[in-house]
């Protein structure tokens, strides 16, 4: 069994997830998974399946703690994944316009216990009524690429959003509250640059 201070491996190439971990002072390495994501089904089941698959695909069992994350966007029972092209991005934005959709993330941690630890987080996001000019503006900015739901709330996509209810970091792609619920020692771990041990070393 790995210790809580084992090196964290992020099984994702997402720059948003890397930025959140870095802001928390977490030392980690990136090892993207080639896991083929499920795209259809009940949102929570899909996200958990994908998160577990990503983590297990890169786990080596050598004391590392592997984090797999998956984020899905759903509205009225339909999942809206990453648009394949501008036409699909427009279709997704039209569907979300003026509606409140759910952003659901699932986390899976391998290496802290005999079985993976998992958690989920949901945030409700309400979009403004988007006219065709706004949709075209956003599609042309290109930010929809490789984004579940075809938008990025931390970028130009904030102009599409009227309100959110829940954790903002979840919409970005890595819910911090859920992460700390499955890895409570993450902020005090020896390999966190803000930990008391590391701060003491920096002062000498």
CA angle 35, 155, 49 (to 5 degrees): 20
Active site residue 70: yes
Catalytic residue among 70, 85, 131, 162: 70
DSSP string, 101-136: EEEEEEEEEESSSSS-EEEEEEEEEEEPPPPHHHHH
Q: Which ranges constitute the DSSP H helices of 7-42? A: 15-23
Secondary element (H or E) of residue 56: helix 43-58
Query: What DSSP state is assigned to residue 2?
Result: -
Question: CA nearest 180: which of 4, 54, 53?
Answer: 4
Please state at what angle helix 86-96 crosses helix 132-141, rounded to 10 degrees.
Answer: 130
- For tokens 């509606």, what's the residue? 99
Known catalytic residues?
70
């Amino acid at each position: 069994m790995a210790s809580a201070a084992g090196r964290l491996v992020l099984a994702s190439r997402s720059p948003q997830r890397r930025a959140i971990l870095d802001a928390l002072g977490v030392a980690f390495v990136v090892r993207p998974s080639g896991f083929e994501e499920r795209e259809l089904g009940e949102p929570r089941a899909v996200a958990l399946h994908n998160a577990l698959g990503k983590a297990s695909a890169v786990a080596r069992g050598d004391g590392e703690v592997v984090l797999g994350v998956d984020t899905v966007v759903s509205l009225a029972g339909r999942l809206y994944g990453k648009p394949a092209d501008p036409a699909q991005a427009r279709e997704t934005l039209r569907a979300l316009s003026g509606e409140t959709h759910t952003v659901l993330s699932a986390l899976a941690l391998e290496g802290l216990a005999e079985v993976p630890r998992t958690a989920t987080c949901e945030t409700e996001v309400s979009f403004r009524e988007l006219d065709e000019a706004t949709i075209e503006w956003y599609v042309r900015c290109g930010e929809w690429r490789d984004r579940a739901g075809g938008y990025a709330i931390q970028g130009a996509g904030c102009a599409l959003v009227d309100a959110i209810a829940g954790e903002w970091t979840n919409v970005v792609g890595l819910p911090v509250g859920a992460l700390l619920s499955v890895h409570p020692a993450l902020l005090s771990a020896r390999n966190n640059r803000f930990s008391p041990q590391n701060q003491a070393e920096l002062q000498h």
